Chains A and B, each alone.
Chain A
């Protein structure tokens, strides 16, 4: 189910009469007049709701003798809400672009000629800064604390804070005096 389809379905379900129609169809397939009688609605009103439900993929119809029968599209309702939420957003590309723009803005603000001007107070911004500094370390290599300090000192004098925060953010790992860069 796409994001647009999910939105249409949720909008469609946010109506008491339509939920009552679906509850009736969950029992058995029905035609317009029967639903109208059960729910005390006029047949045109029931048709109106059925059209919306059909457009949202919640019901399907088929001809049976003189009647147009409506049935619940059970497949739609077996999809869990978690599945819908976890599905990659149609907006994912745009969101990634916005994230990259924000990231670049933070880097441009806090770095000047490769040096860190100040340590951001906001954790989100500091994380971006730390992610930028950690690129100076190689993967699959063990560093001593001194080596770590020397690399960080190229960016900022307060290498102790930055080193500790990098470990805290899970960008570097340590075992005693040995450090290494953590893979993402």
Chain B
């Protein structure tokens, strides 16, 4: 269990690190809005890194319970983002839509990485 969590944490750290590198490059390149979009992506990784930590503590390191807890949060947390994205699309708010889509795409990517890593060990 600890090894799985460590591998996923490592994945989060790598992703956040890559985001931060891109943010630095974009800021130096006067592409501040794109840098802010990268910050949004990095925040999503950070949210779910925290969720995984909470899952480990709440579920007392039980791998099945941790998986259930984590996947449930992966449904609950982005629910508002889906609504927000739909609303933005309805009103032609491309800026908001882009932000919400980045969040949702990042969640989908995290989910895939989590499931893959967790199931490799099962």
- The residue of chain A having its C-beta at the shortest distance from the C-beta of B99 within the complex is A48
Within 8 A of B (CB), among A1-37: 14-18
By the criterion CB–CB under 8 Å, are A48 and B37 in contact? yes
| Other-chain contact of A50, B30, B31, B94 (Cβ < 8 Å) | B94
SS of B interface (majority): helix
| Other-chain contact of B32, A15, A44, A45, A51 (Cβ < 8 Å) | A15
By the criterion CB–CB under 8 Å, are B33 and A52 in contact? yes
How many chain-A residues does the 8 Å CB contact rule pick out? 14
- The residue of chain B having its C-beta at the shortest distance from the C-beta of A49 within the complex is B33
How many chain-B residues does the 8 Å CB contact rule pick out? 13
Question: In the docked arrangement, what's the CA distance between A30 and B31, Å?
Answer: 21
B32: chain A residues at CB < 8 Å are 14-15
- Knowing A44-B101, A45-B37, the reply to whether A16 touches B31 (Cβ < 8 A) is yes
| Other-chain contact of B34, A45, A47, A51 (Cβ < 8 Å) | A45
Question: Is there a chain A Cβ closer than 8 Å to B29's Cβ?
Answer: yes
User: In the complex, which of the residues A45, A48, A49 has the most CB atoms of chain B within 10 Å of its own CB atom?
Assistant: A48
- The residue of chain B having its C-beta at the shortest distance from the C-beta of A52 within the complex is B95
A48: chain B residues at CB < 8 Å are 33, 37, 94-95, 98
